[in-house]
Amino acid sequence: MSVSSNPRRSSGLVKVALAIACITAVTALSSRASFAFSAEAQQMCTGDAFRLCASDIPDVAAVTACMVRNRSSLSQSCRVVLDREVSKKAGKVAGAD
């Protein structure tokens, strides 16, 4: 019996691959100062990022833009955290002048 002939096993492998992609995306978000979000934002928004912006992963800027564009479709917890993070960053940018 080969691994690919078992649909449950294949589904599990897809989930593992998605989890690895998620970790990669979160790491990319963490490593770039201009798009670095808190651990709370990463935790609250990872599912939304995959649901709404999977085609943009691992492009951090594209995922961020996608999340902002799809704000109305975000989970409530992600929306609250994302709004807080974006407003913090906007304040820093505005204060930098």
Which one-letter DSSP state was computed for residue 3? G
Top pLDDT among 29 and 11 is at 11
Q: What is the pLDDT of residue 42?
A: 85
Range of the domain at 86: 3-95
pLDDT in tens, 7-27: 666 666 666 666 666 666 655
| Dist CA 91 CA 79 (whole Å) | 18
Listed as own residue / partner, the contacts of 29-38 with beta carbons closer than 8 Å and 24 or more positions apart are 29/60, 29/63, 29/64, 32/60, 34/89, 35/60, 35/61, 35/64, 37/82, 37/85, 38/81, 38/85
- Phi, psi at 70, each rounded to 5°: -100, 25
pLDDT in tens, 52-97: 999 998 887 888 889 889 999 999 999 999 888 878 877 764 444 4
Q: Tokens 């800027």 identify what position?
A: 61
User: Both ends of the chain: CA-CA distance in Å?
Assistant: 64
Number of domains in the chain: 1
> Against a cut of 0.85, is the pTM above it?
no
Q: What is the pLDDT of residue 38?
A: 81
